[in-house]
Amino acid sequence: MAKFQPPLRLLLIGSPGSGKGTQSERIQKNFSVSHISSGDSLRKNVAQKSDIGLQAAAAMAKGNLVSDDLMTLLIKSELDQVNNANWLLDGFPRTIEQARILDSMLIKNMQPLNLVINLVVPEEVILGRIIDRWVHIPSGRVYNLSYNPPKVAGHDDVTGEPLSKRPDDNPDTFKVRIQNYHTLTAPLLEHYEKVMITLKGNTSDEIYPQIERELVNRFGMMPRRLETSS
Ligand code: ATP
Ligand code: MG
């Protein structure tokens, strides 16, 4: 008899540019998992000039964090839309206060986080990545001019729409983002230590197979490319 498997409640944590978005895209491609990205969702709000976007834009441009209250509002509405399916969070929670709010939200309505993956990539590798990074704002798809270029320069592979450079992807703002990561987000590693694993690598190609192995071994999840052959 098949063993009961709880739905995946995954958090990807890691410094700016550690590949959370890229890994999320791959997980989504290979498994039935909804992706909630606080950064993607904020950038969409900024592009649409929504109330949330207007309130968040200045802090984001400087590399500072948006307030916990605003983030909670945003993520709550995203979580309401995915109900009880497998999901993964990328970019939220990012402070101890946000983690407490999320934990209590999940206890009331859903299963708590059951896996936290800490992505560790050397800082000098990351800086090179963000300088070359372009994004498709509506979908959050990420391209890199050196190792993952779009098929047509400056355009998204799927929709053909134009790509943008994130205003916070420059060396000065990156410094602020890294500092904020160390002071505000790194304490979460201890908060989630019971459900956390750390995966290291210089490239997302090195790290992704390790993530996949964890999802298969811990949750009995089957990558789509293998489903048809069994
Ligand atoms: P990367 O996308 O390369 O992993 P990152 O983690 O710095 O880098 P995003 O997660 O896209 O970037 O976030 C971009 C900006 O959005 C942050 O610098 C911050 O201003 C804001 N932001 C995103 N998530 C949160 C959050 N949970 N709390 C507060 N601010 C946030
Ligand atoms: Mg991201």
- Looking from the CA of residue 62, the nearest atom of ligand 1 is 20
Over its C-alpha atoms, the chain yields an Rg (Å, rounded) of 17
| Ligand 1 pocket check for 208: Cβ under 6 Å | no
List own/partner pairs for 222-230 with CB under 8 A and 24 or more apart: 222/31, 223/30, 223/31, 224/29, 224/30, 224/31, 225/30
pLDDT band at 3 (very low <50, low <70, confident <90, very high): low
Ligand nearest to the CA of 99: 1
Closest residue CA from atom 16 of ligand 1: 39
| Whether the bond into 149 is cis, omega within 30 of 0 | no
Q: Is 43 a catalytic residue?
A: no
**How much is the pLDDT for 4?**
67
Cα gap 118→67, rounded to integer Å: 23
Average of per-residue pLDDT values in the chain: 92
| pLDDT digit string, tens, across residues 107-164 | 876 689 999 999 999 998 999 889 999 999 999 999 999 888 999 999 999 999 999 9
Q: Is 225 a catalytic residue?
A: no
**How much is the pLDDT for 203?**
92
Closest residue CA from atom 18 of ligand 1: 63
Mean pLDDT on 13-31: 95
Q: Is 218 a catalytic residue?
A: no
**How much is the pLDDT for 230?**
42
| pLDDT digit string, tens, across residues 88-113 | 999 999 999 999 999 999 987 668 99
Which two tokens mark 111?
């299963």
- Looking from the CA of residue 67, the nearest atom of ligand 1 is 29
| Ligand 1 pocket check for 96: Cβ under 6 Å | no
| pLDDT digit string, tens, across residues 53-85 | 999 999 999 999 999 999 999 999 999 888 778
Model ipTM value: 0.94
Q: Which of 26, 43, 141, 177 is an active site residue?
A: 177
CA quadruple 181, 65, 71, 24: dihedral sign? negative
**How much is the pLDDT for 82?**
87
